[in-house]
Chains A and B, each alone.
Chain A
Amino acid sequence: MRMKMVGHRCCLQAISIVFIWSQVPSPYVYAGNGGAGDVVVYADRIHVGDGQTVVNGAVVIRDGVIVAVGTDITVPDDATVVRITDGYVTPGLIDANAAIEATDVMTAPMGRRTPRAVLHDFFCPRHVDKIAEGCCGSRCSRSLQHVTGHVCGECGFPNDAPSLAVGTRTWSTDVENSSEIIPHTRVLDAINLRSPDFGRLAKGGVTTVFAAPDSSAVIGSRGAILRTGGPMRERVVRAADAVKATMGTEPSWRGGRNRSPWRNHVSLLTRRPSTRMGVAWIFRKAFYDSRLHDQGKPFGGADAPPSASLLALHGILAGDIPLRIQARQQHDILTACRLTKEFGLSFILEEGTESYKCLEELKSQHVPVIFGPLYVDAPGARAYSTEVAGARLHTFQRLLADGVTTALTANELRDEDGLARQAMYARRMGVSFNDVLRSVTQTPAQLLRIGEEVGTLEVGKRGDLIVWDGRPFDADARPIVVMSGGIIIVDRRPS
């Protein structure tokens, strides 16, 4: 199990680490000492990310890669030293389902508002405290004193319903509307790598994200794995990763282009489906047709997958391209399980709001879950959804307790509701520190299949780490230094 997690490249070191840990508790060094040009991070406590903790130790990073973690490390004079009083170190956080704001619009926290607050905002053109910029582009003369939420503070123009995914705003045409089956499109093409959203993620300690496709298509785009900071050339980890499919109501109401076909004329403007049945049908037909195509048999009809998508569909069927399915309610989760079983697919469940109701099914099919965010009153665009009423506070804890591989995500939430805070919420809901830490570092790294490179602080892995000024995920602690590949991307140290 452990070897599988770390991967063959580092398995020798990993075994030696385990060996040393179990045999010689402290002090220990499991790789060489520091050298010239190294970055050395000292901390009271280093949470390695897999449940291990080093007390009063240091992490040494050379050329962006961790070369030593432990106590008793000698450091040359010219090494860059980062030392915070009472500092704690964790691996950089990984959000396995981050909705990236692609359009450089928001500066204020998004998606916290309840439906009532949203309605209030819609009629109230003037909000205090919430300032966003350029929300209505050229329509408004003043760009500074603006408002996030759903209406521009100055001109009353509805500026955005918080996006659930890349470049999507529910009212706008940013959603890819050409088909219900678009696994040939890539979200990376919609992402501005210089979007300030990455900076906000980094400030919250997130160093790696899976930029999630949006949920408006039954079989959606391919997500990308990105870093939130560091040199531009290293920012894209994987340009085309998992395909996101969606169960439930969102493919029928997201996107704003779903109208009943007029006189049976199906077009771009009359996308289907309009019910859950239709969603499942399109999902099934896509893979069925893909198989027909494989066998050289003809296929067709109104909901046939576009020919461009066939390659990707084959990839999913062959297991080359991972599949994620967003499903919130119990019956949608069960539908996802059923459909994937039918085609022999494995998948990762996203959202899983009511997954506490179908733990047995998830376990029997070995479905990992990327759960989150935690809420009672659904934030942002979810507030409009009919799928969130079953949200419970214990879901995440139950998933972990029942042995379901579960990662935690903040999705579109940032800052006060960002990933570190989601972890804090999870702690309050009864999840132990190590489980929470793992669910935002090691587990998402494994689910994204980048576990050899990031996710824990082990020798040979990338120097992505956070230095906190208190116990990580505590209400009064925050990331003081965030590093990506040994490069400081967030620095809150007093100058």
Chain B
Amino acid sequence: MTARNSVIWCGLIALSLCGSAALATPPAKLALQGGRIIPVVGDEIASGTILIENGKITAIGEKVDIPFDAMVVDVTGRVLFPGMVDAHSSRGLDVPNEQLPVTPFLDVFDALDPSKLYFEDALRDGITSIHVIVDNNCVIGGVSRVVHPIGLTPDEMTQDVQTSLKLSVAPKRRSDRMVQMATLRETFLELSDYLGDLAETKYEESLEDKDEKIDVGPEEARARGRKLIRSVDYDDKHANLVKLTGGQLGAFVYCETGGDVGRAIRLAKDNGFFDRMTFVLGAACYKAVEEIKATTRPVILGPELIHRERNELTGEIIETFVPKVFADARIKFSLLPHPDGSLGERYLNYQAARCVRNGVTRKKALASITINPAKALGMNDRIGSLQVGKIANIVVFSGDPLDFNSWVDQVYINGIRAYTRDTDVRLKRLFGEETSEVPSGDEKEKVDNEVSVKDSVDQKKPTVTTSEKAGTEKKVTDESKQGS
């Protein structure tokens, strides 16, 4: 137990050291030079430079004038990719959700645990923005927030406060769909009753101040009182619901099956949050793809990308690769990493590669792990691509992001280097402490004994050929500063 504790403490201390040091002293100007840039939005640059000033991208291109006082990192042979976005995760919470069904008054802030191993893994896997939200097992969950996986406290981690409420039209555990929908309707009915009562009370109070007696019917009193309500008058239980129906909060609505989609749309339209709704979809929802398309609302697909079902008459198993259905319907979707221990599906870039394998275009696959989830979070002006003006959340891959042999070499968050593979103690341990050798990832295999290898065959896939040392940071001293 003590050993375990000490490990945790070491981890915390290490985290605090890197976190605080990183947060305290961001380099004012940083240039990532010589890498292949996949900006997701815009064209690829075979070899270019990204200039970061005060945590934001200020220049990007083949030729960039690097200020004399910028720190230069040589990333030749590496691939620069936007920090990936996990649009829906409850793994940063100590418990994924509350026992109570209706909990709009909760805030994930109170349960965010910065020492969760998940955040370390997210960083290691190149995920720089995580939308922490209660999981699908709820009726109305709490308010979510967007964090990056570094920082000692929830405050330090936070990228965006609030953002959305979680709702589910699929039944909460030990419930069923009728009860679920009845609870949702009841909640919003109760809200309107509450608002009516509150308005009436406010009107009465305003008359009492003037020593007048109530002179109108209840309908009129409510209408007059409604104008008197200030935001502080709402109690905790209703405040967030008022924001939701007023369009100040987003709604992440979970649907499990195709039938749930229609119910979700109706619920959103009836209660005024349709314009801020985001679908969180189970695999079976592909059956409602036309309905979803008509809404034009953002779509987040669950981590399970293949839907399997047995034809009860023939016994035949029908497999559907869900993202392909959405891509064919021209719906922009976001992917999620798989929370279970698979070596592959835990990586967002591998989830995207699976899409390519199943016929989704590379462009759409790359967008589904970067700009699409950023859009779903309403943060596409800040994150999700490598463009001038955006936050410098950058992943340095050892190769193409859709190649499973590529490793995340470095991660920059707000222009701060938050991760380097060379110093990843846990990864080294998994590769055997005694050797402490981590494959560099850029050793494209030499096909021994190969007969008449035509290079053109390999040109199909972008290859990276660099030496072992390439991509490690060039420590720039005052004498060797460039661009002066």
Contacts and interface: CB of A to CB of B under 8 A. Distances in A.
| B contacts with A: majority SS | loop
18 contacts: A25-B452, A52-B451, A113-B341, A128-B256, A128-B284, A130-B304, A131-B309, A374-B343, A377-B341, A378-B341, A392-B432, A416-B344, A425-B343, A428-B404, A434-B447, A475-B354, A475-B357, A476-B353
Contact of B302 (A108, A128, A415): A128
Interface in A189-206: 196, 199
B136, B170, B431 pick with most chain A CB within 10 angstroms: B431
A416 B345 contact: yes
Interface string B309-345: 1101000010000000000000000000011111111
B213 interface: no
A126 interface: yes
A328 B407 CA distance: 28
Given A44-B457, A144-B312, A475-B402, A117 B340 contact: yes
Interface string A95-131: 0000000000001100011100100000011101111
B372 interface: no
Interface of B: 136-137, 170-171, 173-174, 256, 282-284, 302-304, 306-310, 312, 317, 338-345, 350, 353-354, 356-358, 402-405, 407, 430-432, 435, 437, 439, 441, 443, 445-454, 457, 460-461
B98 to A, nearest CB: 15
Given A112-B342, A378-B341, A424-B344, 16 more contacts: A55-B453, A131-B307, A131-B310, A144-B310, A196-B317, A393-B431, A398-B435, A416-B345, A421-B344, A432-B445, A434-B448, A475-B353, A475-B357, A476-B353, A476-B402, A478-B357
Given A55-B457, A128-B170, A374-B343, A392 B431 contact: yes
A416 B309 contact: no
B451 A25 contact: yes
Nearest to A86: B460
A415 B305 CA distance: 12
A143 interface: yes
Contacts of B407: 428
A429 interface: yes
Interface string A426-444: 0111101110000000000
A125 B174 contact: yes
B40 to A, nearest CB: 17
Nearest to A21: B451
Contacts of B356: 475-476
A128 B344 contact: no
Chain A interface: which size bin? 35 or more
Interface of A: 21, 25-26, 44-45, 51-56, 86, 107-108, 112-114, 117, 124-126, 128-131, 133, 143-144, 196, 199, 356, 374-379, 383, 392-395, 397-398, 415-417, 421, 424-425, 427-430, 432-434, 470-471, 474-478
Nearest to B406: A428
A55 B451 contact: yes
A128 B310 contact: no
B136 A128 contact: yes
Contact of B452 (A44, A55, A86, A113): A55
A21 to B, nearest CB: 6
Contacts of A126: 171, 173
Contacts of A394: 430-432, 435, 437
| A contacts with B: majority SS | loop
A26 B452 contact: yes
Contacts of B435: 394, 398
Contacts of A378: 341
A26 B454 CA distance: 12
Contacts of B310: 107, 131, 133, 143-144
A360 to B, nearest CB: 13
B357 A477 contact: yes
A56, A394, A395, A475 pick with most chain B CB within 10 angstroms: A475
B45 to A, nearest CB: 22
B403 A474 contact: yes
A375 B283 contact: no
A424 B299 CA distance: 29
B360 to A, nearest CB: 10
A52 B340 CA distance: 37
